[in-house]
Structure 1
Amino acid sequence: MVNIAPKVEETEKLEAFMKRIEAGDKIEADDWMPEEYRNALIKLISMHGISEIMGAFPEKEWVPKAPSLYRKLGIMAKVQDEMGHGQLLLRVAEDLLKPYGKNRGDLMEDLFNGDLKFHNVFHMATKSWGDAGLIGWLVDGAAIITQSNMLGTSYGPYGRALQRICAEEVFHAQHGEAIILALAEGTEEQKAMIQDALNRWWPALLMFFGPASSETTGSSKQDVTIKYKIRPRTNEELRQLYFTKYIPRIKSLGITIPDPTLHYDEEKQVWVYQQPDWNEFKQIVSNKGPRSQARLKLRRTSYLKNAWVREALAAGNEA
């Protein structure tokens, strides 16, 4: 005789869980949660955490090359903040991994073997000081829109971490904007540096938010995160918010956006734009971008070189 009691119990738990979600309750790490919810959170938060760490590398390259001591200190502080964000988020992810007997070390191994992805923009090369400013202004600006979208997330620990991260990201965006404004007010060569950076980074900025629908990737990840109120808006809604906020600002500097089709459709009330190459996006996030392997090598070397610190801390905890 088949025992259907476990299935009935699981269904009741799921119904109770969804009622909590709908009521606006915050789920905590020790609460019961469906596997689909836990796995969606692990994938999202671990990717976010790793992206914060890998995202420090493009700007780290410009610490010794910044044009003044003031700029060096500013970008160094930003790099330090990003690494701190990564550590905070990986701790949040680690709590979700405990039922599987995994920890942050396993996430690093997933990164090195290609199972854990990081944001497409952090695979790109930074060729000029204009790139460094643009990352702070437009990449961190995109991050603020994405992360602010999840401040009310149903998972409490992630929401609390995001409150601190979003507050600091605002300073990062202002730091990048200050660099861009200084270049825009400078020589023709400096203005050209901004235009060149935007020309190269524009497709990556569009890709930052991900494809418009799950049909593009054959994945239902976007639907799952909305279903469980991990986030309220879709990728395309976030991209439209980004356009509305930043297109006027970019144009106010006399910079040309490298998309002749870009315009606002008054009737539909949406921005119309040229789609980036989503096949290229898949290649980039599969660690086949311009700087993917170099940055992964740097992260792997650092992780192995500092293994003794983790071992010493583990020994201290055992004592």
Structure 2
Amino acid sequence: MYIYSGASQPEESSHVDDQEKYEQFMARIEAGEKIEADDWMPDDYRQALIKLISMHGISEIMGALPEKEWVPKAPTLKRKLGIMAKVQDEMGHGQLLLRVAEDLMRPYGKTRGDLMDDLLSGDLKFHNVFHMPTKTWADAGMVGWLVDGAAIISQTNMLDASYGPYQRALQRICQEEVFHAQHGEAIIMALAEGTEHQRQILQESLNRWWSALLMFFGPKSADTTGSSKQDIMIKYRIRKSSNEELRQAFLDKYLPRVFSLGLTVPDETAHYDEEKGEWVYQQPDWNEFKQIIKNKGPRSKERLRLREVAYENNRWVRQALTSEAVGS
């Protein structure tokens, strides 16, 4: 259901007309056409998009906060400028995506402001990795290298999404995320080639982030009816791959790179099964995952409080813009 309890549903025509529209809609998707904001769409398609895009947009904004903490503490001016540019990009991604979500929410009479209210009330979740602390400079690099690397795998999986506005936004976002991953990799490489102490803090950082990285793509679907969130998005061609397929793609790409740097992961069972053609690994604690996304993670309260203070401090800007628009 829609993220706003009690929200009025968009008016639609008779069930017969809706069935015809649904069949035409599915035919368009199967033909590779893009659905636009003003086109007719089934309610579960709209709901899935709103939840996906609003969570993605809010996560981009909340994801800027862990790295923002390292802007004044970055070791050189060059590093400060690099991480400042990355934070700016992430905020821009968030604004772009929330505008895309707002168009989908319009039939419900909702705006981007409602999304921010939902974030602060706990009704709208943000990605599990952005509830985590960034204790050292190595963590800032790990976010860029592996967290953004995981995001690229997830987002490129939707580069041909059936919803046109989201697909076009992802084209830009993925291009910029590649630079972010390269920025993080540069930090990681500098530490890996540095002193023994620098290599130690890098290994400690990877140990801290490993579970969160495995959780990044979400749990395997336990639903066998084809009605889970990921199944619905695959059905409507919003995404192509399952959570586990994306996690395997991440492990395929990054575990060899991790090992080539002489680093290890905190999982003695991790290995590639040649017979199955996939990585074997220890499942993370999915109960912990559920607690984290309920805003009970290590830095959940602090990050939400920062967002709340910024939102309140800039309320006058929104009011001024609204008054100006009304006055014109």
Instruction: State the shift of 1:215 in Å.
Output: 3.7
Instruction: State the shift of 1:316 in Å.
Output: 2.0
Superposed CA deviations along residues 217-248 of structure 1, whole A, max 9, x for unmatched, are: x9711111011000010000000000010001
Q: Select 1:59's aligned residue among 43, 67, 73.
A: 67
The DSSP-based 3-state class of the residue aligned with 2:153 is helix
Pairs within 5 Å for 1:147-166:
147-166=155-174
Question: Matched residues in 1 for 2:319 and 2:98: separation?
Answer: 18
The DSSP-based 3-state class of the residue aligned with 1:186 is coil
Instruction: State the shift of 1:258 in Å.
Output: 1.2
Equivalent residue, structure 2, for 1:304: 312
Question: Matched residues in 2 for 1:215 and 1:113: separation?
Answer: 29
Equivalent residue, structure 1, for 2:232: 224
Aligned residues: 314
Percent sequence identity is 74
Question: Matched residues in 2 for 1:265 and 1:70: separation?
Answer: 42
Instruction: State the shift of 1:8 in Å.
Output: 1.2
Question: Residues 230, 80 of structure 1: CA spacing in aligned structure 2 closer, same or farther, 3 A cutoff?
Answer: same
Q: Select 1:85's aligned residue among 65, 90, 93.
A: 93
Equivalent residue, structure 1, for 2:57: 49
Question: Matched residues in 1 for 2:323 and 2:106: separation?
Answer: 20
Q: Which amino acid aligns with 1:210?
A: G
Superposed CA deviations along residues 70-129 of structure 1, whole A, max 9, x for unmatched, are: 111110110000000000000000000000000000000110111100000000000000
Q: Select 1:104's aligned residue among 112, 120, 132.
A: 112
Question: Matched residues in 1 for 2:133 and 2:102: separation?
Answer: 30
Q: Which amino acid aligns with 2:152?
A: I
The DSSP-based 3-state class of the residue aligned with 2:282 is coil
Q: Calculate the TM-score normalised by the size of structure 2.
A: 0.94
Q: Which amino acid aligns with 1:18?
A: M
Q: Select 1:212's aligned residue among 201, 206, 220.
A: 220
Q: Which amino acid aligns with 1:21?
A: I
Instruction: State the shift of 1:214 in Å.
Output: 4.0
Equivalent residue, structure 2, for 1:188: 196
Q: Contact between 1:14 and 1:34, CA under 8 Å: does it hold in 2?
A: yes
Instruction: State the shift of 1:10 in Å.
Output: 1.1
Task: Find out whether 1:14 has 2:32 as its counterpart.
Answer: no
Pairs within 5 Å for 1:195-206:
195-206=203-214
Extract unaligned runs of 5+ from structure 2. Answer: 1-12
Q: Which amino acid aligns with 2:266?
A: P
Q: Which amino acid aligns with 2:289?
A: F
Q: Which amino acid aligns with 1:116?
A: L
The DSSP-based 3-state class of the residue aligned with 1:154 is coil
Extract unaligned runs of 5+ from structure 1. Answer: none
The DSSP-based 3-state class of the residue aligned with 1:271 is strand
Question: Matched residues in 1 for 2:120 and 2:227: separation?
Answer: 23
- The root-mean-square deviation of aligned C-alpha atoms, in Å, is 1.2
Question: Matched residues in 2 for 1:21 and 1:309: separation?
Answer: 41
Q: Contact between 1:58 and 1:122, CA under 8 Å: does it hold in 2?
A: yes
Q: Contact between 1:183 and 1:194, CA under 8 Å: does it hold in 2?
A: yes
The DSSP-based 3-state class of the residue aligned with 1:268 is coil
Q: Which amino acid aligns with 1:77?
A: A
Q: Which amino acid aligns with 2:26?
A: M
Q: Select 1:139's aligned residue among 132, 135, 147.
A: 147
Question: Matched residues in 1 for 2:124 and 2:234: separation?
Answer: 21
The DSSP-based 3-state class of the residue aligned with 1:58 is helix
